[in-house]
Chain A
Amino acid sequence: MAKLKINGKLVDIDVDDSTPLLWVLREQLGLTGTKYSCGIGICGSCTVHINGEAVHSCVVPVSSLTAAQEIVTIEGLSTDNSHPLQQAWKELDVPQCGYCQPGIIMTVAALMKTNPDPSDADIDANVTNICRCGTFNRIRRGIHLAAEINKRGRS
């Protein structure tokens, strides 16, 4: 039995040690917003935050985690779509099929914690998620809009 801290709550997990965090989230906790797509840590659909950093949860064995780590999933970002990225995504109608979007939003949310107004080059270097529908240009605009929303919120 392992203890994990997910979206601010301590939970007990009873799974095989090698089980990836992704499948703990999806199958033990019912947090299916975090998606399975490649399973080898490439596509980014399974991105969550561990202590604020974006990680591919499909390649993180549950045994490598402790209850001291803050794990945040898309469900923990906001409950009412009030996060600036969600607002911007809504404003620009970013998602198409939407399957990769939780992972992309989590990737960008982590980036913007340390870099609140990322340049296009920053975006290119940090957002390596695959989107087969091809929402990249709206994602880029969405990031810039979220940065603006953030600034408006602070001023």
Chain B
Amino acid sequence: MKKEHINVSRREFLISSTTIGVGFSLGFYLSACSDGDKTESLTAKENLSAEKSLSDTPEVNAWVVIEPDDTVIIRIARSEMGQGSLTGLAQMVAEELECDWSKVTTEYPTPGQNIARDKVWRSFSTGGSQGIRGSHLYVRKGGAVARHMLIEAAAEKWEVPMAECKVANSVITHLPSGRTTTYGNVAKAAAELFPPEQVELKDPKDWKIIGKPIKRLDTDDKLNGKQIFGADLTLPGMLNAAIKACPVFGGKLKTFDDSKVRKMPGVRNVVTVDDNAVAVVADTWWQAKTALDALPITWDKGPNVGVSSESIEKMLDEGLTSKDKVSVGNQNGDVKKALQGAVKTVEATYRYPYQNHATMEPMNATARWTKDRCEVWCPTQNGMASLEAAAEAAGLPISKCDVYKIHLGGGFGRRGAFHDFVKQAVAIAKQMPDTPVKLLWSREEDMAHGHYHPITKCKLVGGFDKKGNLNALHVRISGQSILATVNPKWMQNGVDMLTFQGFHAEGDHAISYSVPNLLVEHAMRNPPVPPGFWRAVNINQNAIYMECFLDELAHAAGKDPLEFRRKLMANHPRNLAVLNAVAEKAGWGKPATKGVHRGLAVVKTFASYVAACAEVSVDHSGKLTIHRIVAATDTGYAVNPQQIEAQVEGSFVFGLSALLYGECSIKGGGVEQSNFHNYPSMLINEMPKVETIVMPSGGFWGGVGEPTIAVAAPAVLNAIFSATGKRIRQIPLKDVDLRPA
């Protein structure tokens, strides 16, 4: 049905939508600033090597634009930060669209357009391993609707029934006559049609693009320096800013003496940013940073100057046994009674430190503020939240602001819930109206002002009955709640259920075992160090607590750790299946190479089931070598198996870097570590061989980017125990003596 058949107001909406749909490139948006900038914007586009060519072609629908030359542009609302979901999401649209994959490209719609179009692209949030699993239904539907409209347009042109037409690879065929046409020929006509009321999605068994190990769409420019990251952005007339915020959490800026730096080369301005930071704006970033380093600044260090790792440790220790402010995350049976009646009990206390995300690309954002418009170019995991932050800082209605997303040089959760760098960039730009200003944090600023992996400790007590079965398990977590600081509205009656990730009774983060008497509690203790969502979040520590302690229990019971787990997993078949898969492939129960020892871990998290078996050796000097890790993952449906393998391998680098080196210690109310020399990340020479088993069992959609991180550390720690007889209950290992006991 043609759009004008319905009503005028809807037609107008469609025209305006189409207008919005024209050109999603960075250069276009600059030209939208004001009429006078049109020439300038072309220069900007050239300078930027803008990712997309401008297109006048009307969209078929919000997800699909098809050019006359059959190029298929698929719109992606979530952000690409390395995890590969740009390609995965395009695969899902293309599967239903039945288009020629070799002609597929992608583009980001802006959050401002999303608002103007009644959130047609839904969520822009790229975290919680949600990119694929949170949008598979509506993006596939977007592809299916576009396919329907394209076929309808061809059928109308030929004056034949739609049912007589079929499509494959962007070519529509009228079966009775054998006539063919391509999507590119009918896309313009299709754009004039109304979408069908209903479409049917393919049966997974018929998928041709989903489930295939297709190559990423974003590789070429990452091999030759053409890929523009936020830190690389250049706009005409742009200035550069370097910033320093009070190094003590909660501290404020008192004074600075800009007379010392105003005459330094390139310096244009020295500005206060919010109440806690100062920025130097200069022609180049190096000039801005050089002047900032020379700027005399005095800080009001505020109330937290006495906070240290030691004082935080005391807070957490109190919480391990306290009766105050304790919430329950999961319970069944009667743990106290069962422990009292236990034939044998085992107790241990574990600890997990603060860690920085340390994305390779430091925080940055470029802002341009005028009295009636504010625009921000930035790498963000959540464009909509960046837009809200920009509008707030700009003091303008959200309709007068927009955010242009750029691929991220790493996210890991740092660029999702926190938009401090956006607010700062806008606050600076606001003091220099009409001038684009790029704010780039130094690595040192990035280390000092993270939103850190929260710190917790955990006391676990297990009790055996007289048959030697695990009858009771009491888990007491003490430490920081992310939600209490970041967004208390996400808590449930004052309880941060995310703290119990991996211990839930059911759902995406459910416990992998059935224990007759179970109690899992959290004593919330919130030190004044800002916590954040750090890739995989609370399962990182909870998997160590649970999986290492289960290993301790198995050894206390004189049982094999695999057999001990299996007995508790009768009601958890998918968890058991991934555990069995790694045990079998690793050769669990069979002798390893001399000196090599194995350890296991399994979790369900982000709706996926993952397990790992690590093989390590520890020499007489205490040197650890991680030789090999076998990993299994059941994500339900696996959209791109080779990218799942890449995420699994990468997850071990992230998880093992945390295990080996990851700690931010606190002194004088701030973080002691300042750069990669004292906050190292693992290198290629420490990387084990990784064998990945992708075993999608179907029927559900699980996350990929995070789950495997959780099994990295506990599998290795359990292998270290096997190798040395030493039970390591706190990380990182860099300062731990691993010499065999």
A residues apposed to B, CB below 8 Å: 15-16, 18-20, 23, 26-28, 30-40, 42-43, 45, 73-75, 77-79, 81, 86, 89-90, 93-102, 105, 123-125, 127-140
Asked if B689 contacts A137 (CB within 8 A), the reply is: yes
B286 contacts chain A at the CB level, 8 A cutoff:
yes
A-B contact pairs, 26 of them (CB 8 A): A28-B284, A30-B234, A32-B228, A36-B440, A42-B676, A74-B224, A75-B225, A81-B223, A96-B82, A96-B83, A97-B359, A97-B360, A98-B221, A99-B359, A99-B360, A124-B684, A124-B685, A125-B685, A127-B683, A127-B684, A129-B684, A130-B676, A130-B681, A131-B653, A135-B646, A136-B687
B653 touches A38 (CB 8 A): no
Contact B409 A98 (CB under 8 A): yes
Question: Would B47 and A136 count as touching, CB distance under 8 A?
Answer: no
Using CB atoms, name the residue of chain A closest to B657: A132
With contacts A98-B222, A125-B685, A137-B687 taken as known, whether A23 is within 8 angstroms of B646 at the C-beta atoms is no
Is the CB–CB distance between B223 and A132 below 8 Å?
Answer: no
Interface check B677, CB cutoff 8 A: yes
Contacting pair B684 A96 (CB below 8 A): no
Contact B653 A134 (CB under 8 A): yes
Residue contact B81 to A97, C-beta cutoff 8 Å: yes
A residues near B223, Cβ cutoff 8 Å: 81, 86, 89-90, 95, 101, 105
Question: Which residues 197-244 of B have a CB within 8 angstroms of A?
Answer: 215-216, 218-229, 231-232, 234, 240
CA distance A93 to B214 in the complex (A): 10
Which residues in A have their C-beta under 8 angstroms from that of B687?
136-137, 140
CB distance from A28 to the nearest CB of B (A): 8
B702 at the interface (CB under 8 A from A): no
Task: Please give the distance in Å from A130's CB to the nearest CB on chain B.
Answer: 5
A130 touches B690 (CB 8 A): no
Residues of chain B lying within 8 A (CB to CB) of residue A74:
224-225
Q: How near does chain A come to B258, taking the closest CB pair, in angstroms?
A: 19
Bound-state Cα–Cα, A36 to B288, Å: 15
Q: Which of A19, A30, A37 has the most CB of B within 10 A?
A: A37
Contacts of A123 in B (CB 8 A): 684
Q: Could you tell me which residues of chain B, from 178 to 205, have a CB within 8 Å of some CB in chain A?
A: none
Please name the residue on chain B nearest to A95 by beta carbon: B222
Which residue of the partner chain, among B284, B286, B287, B360, contacts A131 with CB atoms under 8 Å? Answer: B360
Query: Of residues A18, A27, A28, which shows the largest number of chain B Cβ atoms within 10 Å of its Cβ?
Result: A27
A33: B residues at CB distance < 8 A: 224-226
B36 to A: closest C-beta gap in Å: 24
Which of B84, B358, B412, B650 is most buried by chain A, counting CB atoms within 10 A of its CB? B650
From the candidates A27, A30, A99, A125, name the one contacting B286 in the complex (CB within 8 A).
A27
A130–B356 alpha-carbon span in the complex (Å): 15
* Nearest-Cβ distance from residue A120 to partner chain B, whole angstroms: 9
State which of A26, A134, A137 has its C-beta within 8 Å of the C-beta of B654: A134
- Among A18, A40, A45, A78, the one with the most B-chain Cβ atoms within 10 Å of its Cβ is A40
- Cβ contacts under 8 Å, B683 to chain A: 127-130, 136
Chain B residues, Cβ within 8 Å of A98: 82, 218-219, 221-222, 227, 407, 409
Q: In the complex, how many angstroms separate the beta carbon of B684 from the nearest chain A beta carbon?
A: 4
**CB-defined interface of B660-681 with A at 8 Å, one 1/0 digit per residue?**
0000000000000001110001
B652 at interface, CB cutoff 8 A: yes
From B47, B221, B224, B284, contact of A23 by CB (8 A): B284
**Cα separation A100 to B360 with both chains bound (whole Å):** 7
Q: Is the CB of A93 within 8 A of B82?
A: no
Give, as a whole number of angstroms, the nearest-CB distance from B691 to chain A: 10
- Please judge, given known A-B contacts A36-B362, A42-B676, A130-B676, whether A96 and B225 are in contact too, CB under 8 Å: no
Chain B residue contacts of A26, Cβ below 8 A = 232
Q: Which residue of A lies closest to B359 (CB)?
A: A132
In the bound complex, how far is the Cα of B216 from the Cα of A133, in angstroms?
15
| Complex Cα–Cα for A135 and B215 (A) | 15
Q: Is B408 an interface residue (CB 8 A)?
A: yes
Query: Is B265 part of the contact surface with A, judged by Cβ < 8 Å?
Result: yes
Chain A hits for B402, CB < 8 A: none
Give CA–CA (A105, B225) in the complex, Å.
10
Residues in B with CB closer than 8 Å to A94 are: 219
In the assembled complex, B361 has its CB within 8 A of some CB on chain A:
yes
Q: Which residue of chain A lies nearest to B357 when distances are taken between CB atoms in the complex? A: A132
Q: Which residues of B contact A73 (CB under 8 A)?
A: 225
Bound: A28/B223 CA distance, A: 22
Closest-CB distance, B437 to chain A (whole angstroms): 14
The yes or no answer to B285 lying at the interface (CB within 8 A) is yes
A16 touches B265 (CB 8 A): yes
Q: Is the CB of A31 within 8 A of B82?
A: no
Q: Are B676 and A38 in contact (CB-based, < 8 A)?
A: yes
* Bound Cα distance from A30 to B650, whole angstroms: 31
Shortest CB–CB separation between residue A12 and chain B, in angstroms? Answer: 16
Q: Select from chain A the residue with minimum beta-carbon distance to B47.
A: A30
From residue A41, how far is it (CB to closest CB) to chain B in Å?
Answer: 9
- Contact assessment for B685 and A35 in the assembled complex, using a CB-CB cutoff below 8 Å: no
Cα A33 to Cα B215 in complex, Å, equals: 22
Which residues from B are CB-within-8-Å of A129? 683-684
Distance between A57 CB and nearest chain B CB, rounded to angstroms: 12
Contact of B285 (CB < 8 Å), options: A23, A42, A125: A23
Bound-complex Cα distance A115 to B358 (A): 32
CB-based contact B234/A93 at 8 Å: no
Q: With a CB–CB cut-off of 8 A, which chain A residues contact B360? A: 35, 37, 43, 45, 97, 99-100, 130-133
B225 to A102, Cβ gap below 8 A?
Answer: yes
Complex Cα gap A16–B684 (Å) = 36
Given the known A-B contacts A37-B360, A99-B409, are A138 and B265 also in contact in the complex, defined by CB atoms under 8 Å? no
B651 at the interface (CB under 8 A from A): yes
A-facing residues in B338-368 (Cβ within 8 Å): 358-362
Q: Chain A residues near B265 (CB, 8 Å)?
A: 16
Hey, what's the 0/1 contact readout for B102-135 against A, CB within 8 Å counting as 1? Answer: 0000000000000000000000000000000000
Q: How far is the CA of A36 from the CA of B443 in the complex (A)?
A: 9
In the bound complex, what is the Cα–Cα distance between A136 and B643 (angstroms)? 14
B442 touches A (CB below 8 Å): yes
Beyond contacts A99-B361, A133-B360: 5 other A-B pairs, Cβ-Cβ < 8 A, are A23-B285, A96-B646, A132-B359, A136-B649, A140-B684
Tell me whether B225 and A132 are in contact (CB under 8 A): no
Central interface residue in B84, B222, B675, by most chain A CB within 10 Å = B222
Please name the 10 residue pairs, one residue from A and one from B, whose CB atoms are nearest each other, closest first. A33-B225, A134-B653, A97-B82, A99-B409, A98-B222, A134-B650, A96-B82, A124-B685, A32-B232, A23-B286
